[in-house]
Amino acid sequence: MIPFNYHHLYYFYTIARLGSVSKAGEELRLGQPTLSTQLKQFESYLNLKLFERQGRKRLTLTDEGRHILTYAKEIFETGQEMMDNLGDLSHKGRIRIQIGAPDSVPKTFLDMLLQFILKIAPKTHLTVQEDRSGSLIENLKTNVLDIVLTDAPAGSLDEQIESTLIGKIPIVFCAHTELARKYRSIPKDLHNAPLILPTAHSEIYHSLQEYFIEHKIRPDIVAEIQNVELTRRLVLSKVGIAPLNLLTIKKAPSKEPLAVIGKPGTPKIYEKIYILVKKRIKPHPLVSNIVTDFKISA
């Protein structure tokens, strides 16, 4: 015997997730009066008040509502996980894996991950999505993605997501060979030198700022760019000097006039790469192998 209407529980879950009846109605394609009536019926059945109204539109959960939401999330996220696991095996007999990566992750690293997957499971159907880290993590939580390759771990308070460090690659300053002849000594020659930096959301950006302060350097920042491949192209166009991970430089075509400036190990800054996965009742058939065996090194 089903103790209550599961449609009501899903309506409650959607309203709680979106924070308003009107937004939930748009997602569920139900009129606001209809959805409000369904919510009242659910509250009446439970004999509990699940929401408090703040302002004209915003709803916040009561203590009882938060308690019920923990069960609702587990029920519906498990259902979504079930459908996702079925989908992983439904593409013409191939295992499907959906990967996310922000633009800030070098394409070299993403290519290495794809090659690793195809080596251990040659018939895998790959899907790759690029987006902001926050959007990728949300898609990971809702099983739209199976894995995220990123340059920062998930927050320590996010109990749904597991972060695994898979690589720590040295950062070096590089330039076109013609430009490199003018800037041989690191860090001294970086003062007033044209630099292409990553954008401020990058961990490397903040490490570099500390490095500049420590060595009393004021470079001429000509650009801040998130995409590593675009940065490399600008370096080859003699626009400026850029801090790039050593692996990207090693993987560049040998004919490219790209030179590393300074001594090995200068600066002592590293690009860290993480694999993020969601904790699941039944893990994706490839994810455990990736987390355990896939490593990136220079």
Contact (Cβ atoms closer than 8 angstroms) between residue 272 and residue 247: no
234-261 mean pLDDT: 91
The pLDDT tens digits for 129-164 are 999 888 999 899 888 899 999 998 987 667 889 999
Q: What pLDDT score was predicted for residue 84?
A: 66
Question: Per CATH, the architecture of 6-77 is what?
Answer: Orthogonal Bundle (1.10)
Please tell me the distance from the alpha carbon of residue 98 to that of residue 1, in angstroms, as a whole number: 37
What phi and psi values does residue 69 have, to the nearest 5 degrees? -65, -35
Residue 256 DSSP one-character state: S
The three-class DSSP label of residue 45 is helix
The percentage of the chain sitting over the pLDDT mark of 70, rounded to a whole number, equals 93
Confidence of residue 213 (pLDDT cuts 50, 70, 90): very high
What phi and psi values does residue 236 have, to the nearest 5 degrees? -65, -20
Report angle CA 200, 202, 205 to the nearest 5 degrees: 65
pTM score, whole prediction: 0.71
Q: Which of 265, 264, 273, 271 is nearest to 291 (CA)?
A: 273
The pLDDT tens digits for 9-49 are 888 889 988 888 888 888 888 888 888 898 999 888 888 89
Where would I find the beta strands (DSSP E) of 212-269?
220-224, 242-245, 258-261
Residue bearing tokens 């019920």: 68
In the chain, where the domains are located: 6-77, 88-167+272-293, 169-271
- Say which CATH topology domain 169-271 has: D-Maltodextrin-Binding Protein; domain 2 (3.40.190)
1's CB contacts (< 8 A; 6+ apart) are: none
Tell me which amino acid residue 202 is.
Answer: S
Residues facing 285 on adjacent strands: none
The percentage of the chain sitting over the pLDDT mark of 90, rounded to a whole number, equals 45
Q: What pLDDT score was predicted for residue 58?
A: 75
- End-to-end Cα distance, the chain: 59
Please tell me the distance from the alpha carbon of residue 272 to that of residue 285, in angstroms, as a whole number: 26
Contact (Cβ atoms closer than 8 angstroms) between residue 143 and residue 150: no
Q: What pLDDT score was predicted for residue 57?
A: 65
Does this chain's domain 88-167+272-293 share its CATH topology with 169-271?
yes
Confidence of residue 1 (pLDDT cuts 50, 70, 90): very low
Q: What pLDDT score was predicted for residue 93?
A: 62
Tell me which amino acid residue 169 is.
Answer: I
- Say which CATH topology domain 88-167+272-293 has: D-Maltodextrin-Binding Protein; domain 2 (3.40.190)
Q: Which of 170, 160, 98, 104 is nearest to 129 (CA)?
A: 98
Structure tokens of 60?
């916040």
Please tell me the distance from the alpha carbon of residue 61 to that of residue 49, in angstroms, as a whole number: 9
